[in-house]
Amino acid sequence: MRVCLVYPGYPPHEQIGGGISVFGFELAHALSDSGLRVTVLSRGPASSRLEREHLDGIELVRVPGEDPDLVRASHEFSFNRFGSFLFSQHISVLIDALERRDGAFDVIEFPDWGAEGFCSIASKQNRCLLRCFTPSFVSESFNPANPEYLSPFTKDLEREMLRRARHLSCNSTSLIELIESSIGQRVHYEREEAVFDVRRFQCQRHMIEEFSDARPLHILAVGRLEERKGFDVLITAMRELFAAKLPIEAVICGASTHLADGGDSIQVLARNAPPNIRFIPPVSYCQIAQQYQAADVMVVPSRFDSYPFVAVEAMSAGMPVIASHQCTISEHMVERETGLIFESNNPSDLICKIKYLYEQPGEITRIGSNAQALALGQFSKEATVPAIIARYQKIAQFARENGDSSKA
């Protein structure tokens, strides 16, 4: 079976897509390891030529990225709509060229970020899969880098794409409910869990009997520093813990984002942060495991996050995760057994969960061990890849029976 994955960001060379890029990387390797022929279409630096290479048995084709002038105009390289539109313009021509060279792809997969390219290959939509990760889908309505005049257009594009799609995949029931509310109709989808190389994050952890000034409780939070990630909630909680003189420290690891008023998110967050919080820049996909090993607890304070991959990575490392109830990872967690869940946007509730682990260090080991078993059993490649391949086979069969034609 021959599969094309259209993922604008593809690590470890490029991290512009965050968790979605990581998923594309994990998926490509898992499929290749299972014997499928995999081609990844990703976005490269601004240039006038394609870059093609083979890495670990995967064909990687990097499409020319954004025009530097457009990048400067939007003030943000990573997530502006101009860049996604330009990227999608290359997709149809490139897929046609690759299929003329090596034969048709059995399945072409798009994630929601960068999925504008889906509209450019209408004749192939019977064998296209849209994989949904975020509530904003194409429009990225939370992104202040979007010009105002593009927002209505991208919302309409989002709805049109979801109406056209014959094959949808999602790992969150609540996210599908949001999508259905947005487009005003039911969508047919199949739930599939994300693919993780969970064993890569396993590490030796030691029982802690008591926390002190010499050995404080170490909290880790990872993600892009934007409002929906809820880092301000964690900062408020840490300020109260600092005032209570508890030996609890936090590291926030993530990239800053531009604010609507022209400011920088890390400057705003750092200005309000107490001394028990330290900010570090994002680390590479290959280095994040070191951060997990150094921490005791992962906090995921998002106001909404359909699938925070860092949570599963932390669970794989044997860390207990304290997650907002708006994070759909909480759909998999049992309170005080495989994780802790707090009310979104409620610093007081988050403080209660942190104190529970601080006051009972043995629970960190017990819950972390349970979380690791959950991750290994439910999110490993062995558990998830067979279902994804089976879905691909169904899509390929559908395309063979119905031909290449767009949905009416």
Mean pLDDT is highest, among 186-190, 212-216, 403-407, for: 212-216
- Structural domain span for residue 228: 198-378
- With respect to residue 223, please indicate whether it lies within any of the assigned structural domains: yes
Q: Is the pLDDT of residue 2 over 80?
A: yes
Residues 6 or more apart whose Cβ sits within 8 Å of residue 346: 233
Are 170 and 248 within one domain? no
Let me know whether 249 and 261 are in one domain: yes
Q: Answer whether residue 145 is part of any domain.
A: yes
Measuring CA to CA, which residue among 12, 18, 61 is closest to residue 40? 61
Mean model confidence pLDDT for the chain: 83
Strand duo 51-55 + 58-63: pairing? antiparallel
Backbone phi and psi for residue 277, each to the nearest 5 degrees, phi listed first = -120, 135
Tell me the C-alpha distance between 33 and 347, whole Å: 43
Decide if pLDDT at 374 tops 90: yes
Does residue 407 fall inside a structural domain?
no
Q: Is residue 235 part of a domain?
A: yes
Give the lowest-confidence range in 175-179, 314-318, 379-383: 175-179
- Both 47 and 129 in one domain: the answer is yes
The reply to whether 224 and 164 lie within a common domain is no
* Prediction pTM value: 0.84
pLDDT value for 78 = 40
Size (the chain), residues: 408
Tally the domains of the chain.
Answer: 2
Residue 254, domain member (yes or no) = yes
Residues 85 and 139 in one domain: yes
Residue 368: other Cβ atoms inside 10 A:
24
Looking at the fold, whether 156 and 106 belong to one and the same domain comes out as yes
- Distance CA(374)–CA(171), nearest Å, equals 16
The one-letter amino acid at 178:
L
283 within 8 A of 253, measured Cβ to Cβ: yes
Q: 159 and 234 share a domain?
A: no
Residue 386: its pLDDT value, please?
94
Residue 239 lies in a domain: yes
Instruction: Name the least confident of 151-165, 204-218, 270-284, 384-398.
Output: 151-165
E-strand ranges in 99-244 read 107-111, 128-132, 167-170, 190-191, 217-222
The pLDDT confidence band at residue 121, using thresholds 50, 70 and 90, is confident
For the beta sheet containing 340-342, the strands, ordered from the edge strand earlier in sequence to the opposite edge, are 277-280, 248-253, 217-222, 297-300, 321-324, 340-342
Residue 408 lies in a domain: no
Q: Give the whole-angstrom CA distance, residue 220 versus residue 171.
A: 24
Q: Are residues 301 and 353 in the same domain?
A: yes
Model confidence band, residue 164 (pLDDT cutoffs 50, 70, 90): confident
**Residue 49 falls inside a structural domain:** yes
Q: What is the pLDDT of residue 155?
A: 67
Q: Are residues 321 and 388 in the same domain?
A: no
107: phi then psi, degrees, rounded to nearest 5: -140, 140
Q: Which residues, 6 or more positions from 326, have their beta carbon under 8 angstroms from its beta carbon?
A: 302, 303, 304, 305, 344
Query: What does the alpha-carbon distance between residue 200 and residue 70 come to, in Å, rounded to a whole number?
Result: 38
State percent of the chain over pLDDT 90.
43
- Let me know whether 96 and 217 are in one domain: no
Give the span between the Cα atoms of 150 and 140, in whole angstroms.
11
Note whether 96 and 203 are same-domain residues: no
339/391 same-domain check: no
Distance CA 378, CA 195 (A): 10
Residue 373: phi and psi, rounded to 5, are: -60, -40
User: Of 43-47, 182-186, 277-281, which has the strongest mean pLDDT?
Assistant: 277-281
Please report, for the domain that includes residue 209, its CATH number. Answer: 3.40.50.2000
